[in-house]
Amino acid sequence: ISICRDLPNIEVITFSVNGISDLEPLNQCQNLSELYLRKNNIMSLNELFYLKNLPRLRVLWLSENPCCGSDPHRYRMTVLRNLPSLQKLDNQAVTEEELTQALVDGEDITAPPARRNVESGCSEELLNFSLEETNKIREELGMKPVPRDKFSSFSPRETDCNRKKRNNVLNAILLLTKELDAEALEVLQQTVGRRLQACRKKELQEE
């Protein structure tokens, strides 16, 4: 999801079923109008703090995340109090009555969630998560899973977390391919083929 920091003009983001827990990278997406985050790992409604300054956000699907809790009314009221411009929440239209009620029953979120202090270096745990995530996406697309020994080039133990960024880019591209039609996929295939040829040629020259 960190790839979104480099996509300030994106209008629709679909990240359902992706193990996402942190919405901070979305706070720069000023043109975002639709955000689909169903079935992720968002633990706290304080993550909404990062969406409060997105002026065009009209559709949010956040259901089936831990942050929804056991009280559907409190959850919905809190989301609407903090994002009153929403027209649809979890595939259900927002009413004027709900927006008024949200001022009473909803909780005002004024700060981002507290984060655990995590080392900035890449870790083996990160590699395991990224490999699992990538293979889940590839399975959805009907592609073969990446073997662990092949995937190791994305990650590691060097402190160079540019490799983490490269893996994030890969996951984003795999997700976006689901939005393409046959014609667009053919263009993508040709572009990837040319890029792959250029990379192989470069490797041969270096050898």
- The CATH number that applies at residue 8 is 3.80.10.10
Q: Show which of 54, 88, 105 is a domain's final residue.
A: 105
Task: Give Rg (Cα) of the chain.
Answer: 20
86 and 179 housed in the same domain? no
Q: Show which of 50, 79, 105 is a domain's final residue.
A: 105
16 and 100 housed in the same domain? yes
Asked, for residue 134, whether it belongs to a domain, the answer is no
Domain that holds residue 9: 2-105
Asked, for residue 141, whether it belongs to a domain, the answer is no
100 and 180 housed in the same domain? no
pLDDT per residue as tens, the chain (207 positions) = 778 888 888 899 888 888 888 999 899 899 999 999 999 999 999 999 999 999 999 999 999 999 999 999 999 999 999 999 999 999 899 999 999 999 999 999 998 887 654 444 444 444 444 566 667 766 766 777 766 655 544 434 444 455 556 666 676 777 777 777 888 888 888 888 888 888 888 778 776
97 and 190 housed in the same domain? no
174 and 101 housed in the same domain? no
Asked, for residue 133, whether it belongs to a domain, the answer is no
Residue 101: per-residue pLDDT: 95
Could you tell me whether strands 59-61 and 88-89 are parallel, antiparallel, or unpaired per DSSP bridges? Answer: parallel
Asked, for residue 164, whether it belongs to a domain, the answer is no
Indicate the pTM of the whole model.
Answer: 0.56
Asked, for residue 128, whether it belongs to a domain, the answer is no
Residue 65: per-residue pLDDT: 93
- How many domains would you assign to the chain? 2
7 and 98 housed in the same domain? yes
Asked, for residue 156, whether it belongs to a domain, the answer is no
Asked, for residue 111, whether it belongs to a domain, the answer is no
Q: Show which of 52, 75, 105 is a domain's final residue.
A: 105
